[in-house]
Amino acid sequence: MLIVRVGDASAAHGAEHGDYDGWVARGLAGGGPVTTRVVDPRGGGALPSPRDLAGVVVTGSSAMVTDRAEWSGRTAAFLREAVAADVPALGICYGHQLLADALGGEAGWNPRGREIGTVAITLTRAGEEDALLGVLAESGPVFSAQSTHRQVVLRLPEGAARLAENALDPNQAIRVGRRAWGVQFHPEFDAAYLRTLLHERRPAIEAEGLDADALLAGCHDTDTGPRLLARFADLARRG
């Protein structure tokens, strides 16, 4: 299973807590043993042929898809190849936006503003019936997840399915083709890390008119992320 790391955790969280790729790997292993490899294209890391992989996860990033960085373009081409080869793929936050953008959709600044904290998200009917997102429907259509982003998927690729939504983003989760998913939220994050980000970004958050104290008070751990990542690994194992 390839983890394409395109972002870094805040140094304020401390090195002992790990980083995006380690958190993703831990979640993937929640349902059983999984072998992972990490490639960081930002430093020139070469992306292998998707056909040699059981699955692919693209992490979040503090970069923006609209920056059109060279490494992002290479990763977008890699995702197009993975989808064409029917390799299970999961894009998280930036990876979600890049997946949609790479396949003919559009990513850009959220006209509704920043979303950060532990947020409520609702599965669509398609989401409740989806092979991946459906694992979250066991306790009803509404679930909580950790989130932090300013850009979103503005337009879906042709034929994509909308799987989850909320008031700040109608495209919280999507499926493109048979086995490529994007989630705007962060299944690898816990509440402790969200609190770190809220403290770190307080000035910007408050300048935008958001209540940082209320967002901090609303942070709580959820089993959404572990369940979703373990389910993705299980689907990849099935081939």
Residues recognised as catalytic: 93, 186, 188
| Cβ–Cβ < 8 Å for 141, 101 | no
Pairing of strands 115-123, 142-149: antiparallel
CA 141 to centroid of chain Cα atoms: 19
Which residues, in sequence order, are CB contacts of 183 under 8 Å at separation 6+? Answer: 90, 91, 92, 93, 96, 145, 164, 172, 173, 228
Rounded CA-CA distance 143/224 in Å is 7
* Partner residues linked to 76 by β-bridges: none
Q: Which two tokens stand for residue 104?
A: 């003919």
Strand, helix or coil for residue 103: coil
